[in-house]
Amino acid sequence: MEIFKFMVPEIIFGKGTLRLVGESARRLGATKVFLVSDAGVAGAGWVDQAVRHLHEVGLEYEVWTETTPNPKDHEIEHGRELYLKTGCDAVIGLGGGSAIDAAKAVAILVTNGGQIDDYEGVDKIARPLPPLICVAATAGAGGEVTQFTVIVNTQRRVKMTIGSKSLVPDIAIIDPLLLSTIDAVLTANTGMDALTHAIEAYVSVAATPITDVLALRAIKMVSSSLRASVASRTNMEAKTSMAMASLLAGIAMSNAILGAVHAMAHPLGGLLNMPHGEANAILLPHVMRFNLIACKERFADIAEAMGEQTEGLSSREAAERSIEAVERLCSDIGAKQHLAEIGLQEEHIRELSQAAAADVSLITNPRDASVEQLAEIYRAAL
Amino acid sequence: MPEHKTQLIEKLTGVYASKRSYYGELKDKISEITKRNSQLEILNELARQISINTPLDQLVMNISDRVKQIIPFDRVSLCIFRGGKLYLNCFHPQDGLSCTGMEIPQDQGQALWHVGQTTRQLVWRPGSGLDDLHLQRLGIRVAVISPMFAQDRVLGLFVAANLEEINYDPTDLAFLQQLANQLTIYLQDRDLFAEVTRAKVEWENTFKAVKDLILVVDRKMQIFRVNPATLQYSGLSEEALMGRQCCEVICGAATACNDCAVCEALQTGETASSQHEFDDGRVMEFYAYPSNYDQGEPGVVIYVKDITERLKMQVQLLKTARLAALGEMSAGVAHELNTPLAVILGDVQLLLRELSMSEEKHELFDDIKTCALRCKQIVQGLLTFSRQEQYVFYPLSVNNVVQEALKLVGYQIETDNIRILTNFEDQVPQIEGNAQQLEQVLVNLLLNAKQSFEGTAGQRQIGVQTGYDQRRGQVYIRVSDTGQGIRQENLAQIFDPFFTSKGVGKGTGLGLSVSLGIVQTHGGTIGVESEPGRGSTFTVYLPPLPETETESA
């Protein structure tokens, strides 16, 4: 890629930075904030804390926590109605991938109008969004820094990917303290999501030197900290490291785009409402194996970043080590290894493959994949 | 697919997809609002110009100049449908091909006619399917034809045209249609305005033409509108009259009179009328018409007419008519009586001649003769009153007439202890008349005057005056007494034959009616003024000789 654009939001990183949420919103000209979160984050007390910070700077707010994992189009419709009815003028997303995706989708509709499926695809947003602040409550999803949001079309039962520079938030707040209330399973799933972002960005056909640096560093940090983070809720060093890894992976992924793992994981979420992180973790080694021939050296780099000993090995052997490393990490953190475990059946594969082939994420996959090839991968992961 | 893929990657990672900027959005919005503001300003201006009645071509020129600032076009024109034909009403600027009022036949202006029929705005370009020679000749590349639609028909077309190819955006088109709508209102209003103005002027002229007073007052009877006759009547300016009480201005009274029609109309909401007699003798008739009674701000339109003259005339007419009737009857009676009287008188005289004075019956016949003579006199008087007799007229001086009359009855009056004061004007013009007749009038008046002192104490004086009344242009003889006067209710009847206030047997009741008959035969009148207890004045007015006038002049 000879000419490229690299885009990141204003980033605030560090323990306790959640308290800056009110000031940040005010700085962007907000007077009444639409705070999007979910039941889990609210239950952990983070919504109350965020609201307190909004109140401290004299901002009004409307809290909306109706979003569910894999946010649905009709939920977004409700969010838009509430936003307009209550006269809000800024959006804050506080949560994992779902709450942040929902926040972005509501932001699209309140200034652009229409239905959310009008914006499916790339660069379809014509008008600026209201001031948008995203606070990450997991280490993995990365939505707080990306140009994407993914919403389920409940009629077509597919995940619609919406990509636009306008979706890059104005401010991203990453506070590792928020990770301390997440259980081990979610920590593992989101951590694998981050790793997937980094690996797919690194082998992406749209990778640039900037994203390479970020992706490799993210892979390295996940490899060294995810086990410890899954192991302990209170290991702040591991949590901080995972928060940074997720941030770097998110930036890399937003600018270098994804690959077949995401293309294939999206239909699983849309059709079977499968948790995104789990699906990614299961699919990742199989897709790596499929992609291997496209860029052996890059996979060798990944193996090295994951701490594998590659000296003296052929590039092919070194590349294969990366797959082993990923499988080992999955095994260590107790991630599921078969799609059947989370409800996939053979009869779904045809429909899933067709959907994956049409997914935007597939375009930057290093190896061209046909519907049949994608079906094969699904079968392998079954 | 690979190309599609490349495009998507370009949009995701390339330099041409950007985050939308609020600054850009704001600028777009501001320029949109600015444009919209200018549009509104123009519409406003147009609305304002409607009311000040700008000529249409001037208006179209103004619009053209103003609208050009926000929507580019080179030419604007207005076409009007009239009697199934389309005419170019006005256009701007001049082009050397068009002229005001020229007809655009359907085959020449297909696009224009098309809009007239469909009533939908059309953006016309040459070669767009509708050949419009009229527009093509002018070298127009784009024309926005907006219908001027009102009450289910198209009044005309508003055309904004460009000599260069240009694309108008939908808001521009919508605005041009709005302009056309506004112009439609203007055209309708203009016609309506002219109509209303004409009607208003007509009414104002009517109001001005009335020579009686018309005032409009509010519920407090304060004047807020008057006609010129009222200004003349009051001698005040319109400003000075406004807000004044109508009582003060019209009646010269501080408060409303008891039977005031205006008060009644205000109270009842019904039309009322009243008559008001002023101290100076004028009689005014008031008509009060309540107006605006339903709308909560009641007022009254007052119509005031001076009916003094009319009343006088009515009295005079009545009197004249009655006298004429009486005269006719009297004449008839007199003629009928004349013959039997002549027989009675002749027969009595024959009988008297045959009887000696000593005879007992002689006295009785003598009485019959005396009475018959008296009857004959009365009949003669009646005939005189009804002007059935002819006299010879000649120039004479009223002073002589009066002096002759005084010779006849002066002594009789003075012996009754009544002073006669005379005052004759030497230069009194001559009149044309019969001296004997006029002397009889004077004798009648003098004897009446003498009799007016009966039963009264105090000054006993009769004044006799002659002169010339400049105002009337008539010679007069005035006989005034300081006697008992005539009661008001009798005044109207004193000239009636047989009317008398004297006791039975004291008068025939023919004196004044006979006098009036004589004077009227002379072309004159008798005026009377009287106040019970103070006396009466009778004035005989007689026209002077025309020759005398020229001689004295």
Do A166 and B12 lie within an 8 Å CB cutoff?
no
What local confidence, expressed as pLDDT, does residue B132 receive? 84
Do A127 and B18 lie within an 8 Å CB cutoff?
no
Give tens-digit pLDDT for B266-280: 888 888 888 888 877
B430 plus B492 within the same structural domain: yes
Instruction: Give Cβ neighbours of residue A319 (< 8 Å, ≥ 6 apart).
Output: A292, A296, A297, A298, A299, A300, A302, A303
B176, part of any domain:
yes
Instruction: Give Cβ neighbours of residue B477 (< 8 Å, ≥ 6 apart).
Output: B398, B401, B402, B442, B464, B465, B466, B539, B540, B542
Looking at beta carbons, which residues of chain A come within 8 Å of B19? 7, 128, 164-166, 168
Structure tokens at B301: 């339109």
Distances (CA, A) of B450 to A49, B181, B329, B417, B422: 131, 94, 30, 10, 15
Pick among A129, A146, A164, A251 to test the B interface (most B CBs inside 10 A)? A164
B13, part of any domain:
no
Is pLDDT above 80 for B387? no
**What interhelical angle do A184-203 and A315-333 show, nearest 10?**
160
Q: How far apart are CA B462 and CA B456, in angstroms?
A: 14
Out of A4, A128, A168, the one facing B25 most closely (by C-beta) is A128
For residue B4, give how far its alpha carbon lies from the nearest alpha carbon of chain A (Å).
Answer: 9
Q: How many CB pairs under 8 A join A and B?
A: 59
Do B9 and A364 lie within an 8 Å CB cutoff?
yes
What's the CATH number where B146 sits? 3.30.450.40
Looking at beta carbons, which residues of chain A come within 8 Å of B21? 128
What local confidence, expressed as pLDDT, does residue B296 receive? 67
Give tens-digit pLDDT for B478-512: 999 988 888 877 777 788 777 777 665 556 677 78
Is pLDDT above 80 for A129? yes
Domain termination site, one of B245, B276, B306: B306
CB atoms within 10 A of CB A187: 25
For residue B33, give how far its alpha carbon lies from the nearest alpha carbon of chain A (Å).
Answer: 17
pLDDT band at B547 (very low <50, low <70, confident <90, very high): low
B239 plus B156 within the same structural domain: no
For residue A164, give how far its alpha carbon lies from the nearest alpha carbon of chain B (Å).
Answer: 7
Give the residue numbers in A contacting B (CB under 8 Å), as ranges: 1, 3-5, 7, 122-123, 125-129, 147, 163-166, 168, 205-206, 208, 255-257, 360, 363-364
Which phi and psi (to 5°) does residue A285 adopt?
A: -65, -35
Measured between CA atoms, the residue of chain A closest to residue B14 is A4
Is pLDDT above 60 for A193? yes
Q: Which of A142, A168, A93, A152 is nearest to A120 (CA)?
A: A152
What local confidence, expressed as pLDDT, does residue B484 receive? 84
Q: How far apart are CA B449 and CA B535, in angstroms?
A: 9
Looking at beta carbons, which residues of chain B come within 8 Å of A7? 19
Pick among A111, A255, A360, A363 to test the B interface (most B CBs inside 10 A)? A363
Percent of chain B with pLDDT over 70: 93
Q: Which of A202, A309, A326 is nearest to A252 (CA)?
A: A202
B97 plus B171 within the same structural domain: yes
Measured between CA atoms, the residue of chain A closest to residue B28 is A127
Give tens-digit pLDDT for B109-151: 888 999 988 888 999 988 888 888 888 888 889 999 999 988 7
Looking at beta carbons, which residues of chain A come within 8 Å of B24? 128
**CATH numbers and ranges of domains, chain A:** 10-178 (3.40.50.1970), 184-381 (1.20.1090.10)
What local confidence, expressed as pLDDT, does residue B548 receive? 46
Which has the minimum average pLDDT: A232-241, B174-183, B312-321, B544-553?
Answer: B544-553
CB atoms within 10 A of CB B509: 17
Domain termination site, one of B143, B163, B194: B194
| Strands across the sheet containing A32-38 | A10-13, A171-174, A132-136, A90-95, A32-38, A60-67
Give tens-digit pLDDT for A257-270: 999 999 999 999 88
Q: How far apart are CA B197 and CA B53, in angstroms?
A: 11
Measured between CA atoms, the residue of chain B closest to residue A360 is B8
Do B12 and A163 lie within an 8 Å CB cutoff?
yes
**Residue A379 carries which DSSP code?**
H
Give tens-digit pLDDT for A83-92: 999 999 999 9
What's the CATH number where B460 sits? 3.30.565.10
B317 plus B286 within the same structural domain: no
What local confidence, expressed as pLDDT, does residue B279 receive? 77
What local confidence, expressed as pLDDT, does residue B294 receive? 60
Do A5 and B17 lie within an 8 Å CB cutoff?
yes
Looking at beta carbons, which residues of chain B come within 8 Å of A110? none
The interface residues of chain B toward chain A in range 8-47, judged by CB-CB distance below 8 A, are 8-9, 11-15, 17-22, 24-25
Q: What is the ipTM of this complex?
A: 0.73
Out of B13, B21, B25, the one facing A5 most closely (by C-beta) is B13
B55 plus B153 within the same structural domain: yes
What's the CATH number where B233 sits? 3.30.450.20
For residue B36, give how far its alpha carbon lies from the nearest alpha carbon of chain A (Å).
Answer: 21
Average pLDDT, chain B: 82
What local confidence, expressed as pLDDT, does residue B549 receive? 46
Residue corresponding to tokens 């919406």: A162
Do B19 and A127 lie within an 8 Å CB cutoff?
no
Give tens-digit pLDDT for A201-232: 999 999 999 999 999 999 999 999 999 999 99
Do B20 and A163 lie within an 8 Å CB cutoff?
no
Helix (H) or strand (E) holding A39: helix A39-43
Tally the domains of chain B. Answer: 4
Q: How far apart are CA B447 and CA B462, in angstroms?
A: 10
Domain that holds residue B354: 311-385
What's the CATH number where B373 sits? 1.10.287
Do A3 and B14 lie within an 8 Å CB cutoff?
yes
B299 plus B319 within the same structural domain: no
B45, part of any domain:
yes
B7, part of any domain:
no
Do A206 and B18 lie within an 8 Å CB cutoff?
no
B271 plus B340 within the same structural domain: no
B302 plus B321 within the same structural domain: no
What local confidence, expressed as pLDDT, does residue B390 receive? 66
Looking at beta carbons, which residues of chain A come within 8 Å of B14? 3-5
* DSSP codes of every residue in B263-316: HHHHHHSS-EEEEEE-TTS-EEEEEEEEESTTTT--EEEEEEEE-HHHHHHHHH
Measured between CA atoms, the residue of chain A closest to residue B20 is A128
